[in-house]
């Protein structure tokens, strides 16, 4: 992917993510109302590995870090990426550097190693099993709202 295309897509998606988080924050507030936009969940009735990420991010914004972790640990990565990437790109564009593009190339090279890719996919699969464990009540404890 070219630098220009990457910067445009990442900036657009990062800003769209920030808008979505603000919308979700205002819509959810501190309520536990159903807020389900997951196509996988609507079709299968089962939570996908990323279900609960928005709830997790909203919990982080409210300072409830334990609840955020129980809703979906991916919320921590999501909020960091959405918060950092657009500003990182803007700094690169203003300063004329290519640090974001260089980091993208390194990450791309790293993910082309099968063991790294399969390790990440395995962790996501374990997260999904944990979510399904709560969904089917295989795991005792409170059921997160996703």
For residue range 48-96, what is the model confidence (pLDDT) as tens digits? Answer: 888 888 888 888 888 989 988 888 888 999 999 998 999 999 999 999 9
| Alpha-carbon span 5 to 85, nearest angstrom | 14
Tokens encoding 11: 């900036």
d(C-alpha 82, C-alpha 17), whole Å: 6
Burial class (CB in 10 A: 0-12, 13-18, 19+), 49: buried
Of residues 23 and 37, more confidence is placed in 23
The residues near 86 (Cβ < 8 Å, ≥ 6 apart) are 10, 11, 14, 15, 18
pTM exceeds 0.75, yes or no: no
Residue range 22-31, pLDDT digits in tens: 887 777 655 5
C-alpha to C-alpha distance for 94 and 91, rounded to whole angstroms: 5
Q: Do 16 and 78 form a contact (C-beta atoms < 8 A)?
A: no
Phi, psi (deg, nearest 5) at residue 63:
85, 10
The conformation of residue 142, written as its DSSP 8-state character, comes to P
């Amino acid at each position: 992917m070219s630098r220009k295309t990457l910067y445009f897509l990442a900036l657009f998606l990062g800003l769209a993510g920030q808008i979505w988080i603000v919308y979700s924050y205002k819509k959810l507030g501190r309520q536990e109302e159903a807020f389900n936009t997951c196509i996988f969940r609507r079709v299968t009735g089962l939570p996908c590995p990323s279900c609960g990420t928005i709830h997790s991010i909203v919990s982080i914004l409210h300072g409830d870090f334990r609840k955020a972790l129980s809703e979906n640990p991916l919320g921590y990565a999501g909020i960091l990426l959405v918060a950092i990437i657009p500003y990182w790109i803007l700094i690169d564009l203003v300063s004329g550097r290519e640090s974001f593009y260089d980091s993208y190339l390194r990450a791309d090279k790293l993910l082309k190693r099968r063991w790294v890719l399969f390790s990440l996919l395995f962790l996501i699969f374990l997260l999904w099993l944990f979510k399904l464990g709560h969904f089917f009540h295989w795991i005792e404890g409170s059921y997160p709202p996703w």
